[in-house]
Amino acid sequence: MGSLAVNLNGPGHYVHWGVIQISVANLVVIAVMIALFVAAILLPFPKDRDRK
Amino acid sequence: MSSTDERMWTARVRSRAVRALPPDKLLPDRQPVYVSSWIYVFGVLTLAAFVVVLVSGVVLGVEGPQWWHRSSVGLFFNSLHLWSVQLFLAFMVVHLWGKFFMAAWRGRRAMTWITGALAFIGSVGTAFTGYLIQENFDSQWISTQAKDGLNSVGIGSFFNVLNYGQMLIFHVVLLPFVMSILIVWHIVLVRLRGVVPPFPPRSERSAFPSAEVSSDVAAPADAAAPAEEVAP
């Protein structure tokens, strides 16, 4: 298999914060989803060209 | 239609269905103007991902495990099935956040909210049973851990996550069937009740919450106002 952007051969990386323990992969996915949510609210929606 | 025809149950069901959901309401050409926001796109993105999940799942089922583990096209479809599920769940959660902050259960839309919530819970179960039937160490690990977890809350007496055959049937027949019914029901309700309108401006809100609820009840009719509609 060609070289991957992320090396998946090995144990995952985890973040510990008190009682909270979460993998970096899951944390990244949650961050992307929150960014997507904020962008969906803030970014302007393209207008219908037929109706000006 | 003759009077004899009108007495037939097929005619009665058909006329009731068309009255409740006329074709132009079932598949409208235009949407209310407030739908012009990216946050309203996540429902249909979830639906599109679900179609890819179903189609790739059918292909995997037809070709079988030897194909999806060993051939390059099989591995591609296996990955397509996995990643479309990741997108399905991600889009669904963003859709859920959007609808939660809109209080999308307003205006007689409680059942739309409930069917959506059930579809979310059902999709977690469907994804879980998918992980159990991977036929690798990962699935062994997940199933043994899940067995302890499910037993600890008493659910383990209803089904056995270590039973490969049972989990396979759950994943490829029972849960997709339930999910399809819930999603179709959810979409029909969205078309029946309309997309939830935004909250009115602060200046127009009533000091009495009960009055505000009654104005929301009229919302589905407002959603059909042609003067405010835009192309999807």
Interface predicted TM-score (ipTM) of this complex, two decimals: 0.81
| B139: its two tokens | 């699935």
Q: Which residue of A has its CA nearest to B38?
A: A40
Inter-chain contact B36–A45, Cβ cutoff 8 Å? yes
Is the model more confident about B157 or about B53? B53
Q: Which residue of A has its CA nearest to B96?
A: A37
Q: What is the Cα Rg of chain B in Å?
A: 22
Closest by Cβ to B97, choosing from A37, A43, A47: A37
Q: What is the pLDDT of residues B91-116, one digit of tens each?
A: 999 999 999 999 999 999 999 999 99
Entry pTM: 0.82
Instruction: Write phi, then psi, for B32 (nearest 5 degrees).
Output: -60, 150
- Segment B172-196 shows an average pLDDT of 95
Rounded Cα distance between B14 and B17, Å, is 5
**β-pair type (B229-230, A14-17):** unpaired
Inter-chain contact B94–A51, Cβ cutoff 8 Å? no
Q: What is the pLDDT of residues B22-44, one digit of tens each?
A: 988 888 888 888 888 999 999 99
Question: pLDDT-based confidence at B190, cuts 50/70/90?
Answer: very high
Inter-chain contact A40–B98, Cβ cutoff 8 Å? yes
Contacts A37 to B, Cβ<8 Å: 39, 94, 97-98
Is residue A51 pLDDT above 70, yes or no?
no
Per-residue confidence (pLDDT) for residue A11, from 0 to 100: 84
Per-residue confidence (pLDDT) for residue A2, from 0 to 100: 56
A interface with B, Cβ–Cβ below 8 Å? 29, 32-33, 36-37, 39-41, 43, 45, 47-48, 50-51
